Amino acid sequence: MDFDLSEEQQSFVSIVRSFVDDAIRPNAERWDLEEELPLDAVKQMADLGLFGLPFPERYGGAGADLVTLCLAIEEIARVDSSLAITLEAAVGLGAMPIYRFGTEEQKNTWLPSLVSGNALAGYGLTEPGGGSDAGATRTTAILEGDEWLINGSKSFITNSGTPITSLVTITAITDKGGDAKEISAIIVPAGTPGFEVGPAYRKMGWHHSDTHELAFGDCRVPQANLLGRRGDGLRNFLSILDDGRIAIAALAVGLAQGCLDECLSYAGERRAFGRVIGGYQAISFKIADMATKTELARTAYQKAAWLKSKGRPYTKQAAMAKLFASETAVEVARDAVQVHGGYGYIEEFPVCRHFRDSKILEIGEGTSEIMRMLIARELKLPST
């Protein structure tokens, strides 16, 4: 048994932390207000090699494991969830499907710029009527000659409309009707005629993460843009989400840790009734609970990531980590606002933003309900 990070991981964490303190912390509040992905920050994260962490060196990556990627996401999320999800989605949802399911030619075409962080890719699974019911895909892709003719729409697609977005991979029905529904994944390059990016959503949180609705109207892409085997699209996409869940758990832990850090400093300074409020059990017990849940959530995501790195089954642990960490983040952020009192409701205090940013964690990349369903399935409970 060994809970230590490697020496390299420890140095990396301290470097990412100082980067976040220097380059992100002073700007996070302003970016949140501006509601636009700060491309200069993305560039700085790219220079640090963050977008290439889990990919092999032959595509320009660092060959790191999932634990290391999660550590980086956690560090960023302590301060800025929008940039943390930008990284998580860029790596886990944007580049990873190309790396895992792409042909060598597709990888050589698309991966280097994604891995270097010079480009971002979106992952179009969810549809207006889909969400948790991921298989309810209605977007269609019909093979006409040597082109796919795509029609339909996608919702809540991260990194899909930035000036550096190079592509979106989408799921679409590729069968010709009949009983067996065939869903495949297809790469749609940005700027393809018929591929329309809707206006940015007005979101509760994750303000400077780039999220759009996408519309495809008689959009044509080459047949060679099929990603993975025809008919494997949904299964492949769902398997991508297992890793994504661990990374979201890491993001949730970062947010919770950020709230905890803020509370520790606030409760040590703010005085009421003649002493600092951290001296009152009403506050100190709350903070003790916050710290405990955060630490357990961290252990959960790191174990799930470690299982994955060892090539062992991890679906159950990933779902548990995502469920526990995201609910922890929401609870911790809510309590952090309470510890801050009225100031917690004011945007100058980071816990205010953290609270707004936390809720989506119980929804995105598999809701808490879907996590419980997956865990129950892993426990071999009767299926409904």
Partner 1 sequence: MNVVVCVKHVPDPNAPVEIQDNRIKRTGVQNVLDPGDMYGIEAGLLLREALGGEVTVISMGPVQAVEAIKRALSMGADRGVMISDDALTGADSLVTARVLAAAIRRAGFDLVIAGVESTDGYTGTMPSSLAEFLGLPQVTFAKRLSASASSVTVDRQTASGYHVVECSLPALVTVTAGVNEPRYPSFKGIMAAKKKPLEHLTLDHLGMSAADAEVEQEIVQISAVDERKSGTRVANDEAAARIADLLAEAKAI
Residues of this chain that bind partner 1 (CB under 8 A) = 8, 11-12, 15, 18-19, 47-49, 52-53, 57, 61-64, 68
Candidates 330, 355, 42, 25; CA nearest to 206 is 355
Give 43 or 372: the residue with its C-beta nearer to partner 1: 43
- Residue 365 among the catalytic residues: yes
Hey, what are 180's tokens? 């067996």
Cβ neighbors of 262 (< 8 A, separation 6 or more) are 336, 340, 349, 350, 351, 354
List residues bridging with 122 in a β-sheet. Answer: 168
Q: CB-wise, 115 or 241, nearer to partner 1?
A: 115
In the complex with partner 1, which residue's Cβ is closer, 12 or 306?
12
Quickly list DSSP for 125-171.
Answer: ---TT-TT-TT----EEEEETTEEEEEEEEEEEETSSSTTEEEEEEE
β-bridge pairing 165-173 and 120-124:
parallel
Shortest distance in whole angstroms from residue 4 CB to partner 1:
16
**Residue closer to partner 1, measured from CB, 64 or 119:** 64
Structure tokens that stand for 347 in this block:
């945007």
Residue 271 in tokens: 């005085």
Q: Which residue from 294, 296, 222 is spatially nearest to 253, judged by alpha carbons?
A: 294
Which one of the listed residues 144, 365, 369, 378 is annotated catalytic?
365
Degrees, nearest 5: CA angle 130-86-20 = 150
Q: Are 171 and 127 in contact (CB under 8 A)?
A: no
In terms of CB distance, is 55 or 195 closer to partner 1?
55
The tokens describing 193, both together, are: 């005629």
Angle at 154 between CA 151 and CA 158, to 5 degrees: 140
Task: Rank residues 18 and 132 by Cβ distance to partner 1 and give the closer one.
Answer: 18
**Beta-bridge partner residues of 184:** 172
CB of 94 to partner 1, least distance (A): 19
Question: Angle at the Cα of 91 (from 87 to 95), degrees rounded to 5?
Answer: 140
Catalytic positions, written as ranges: 365
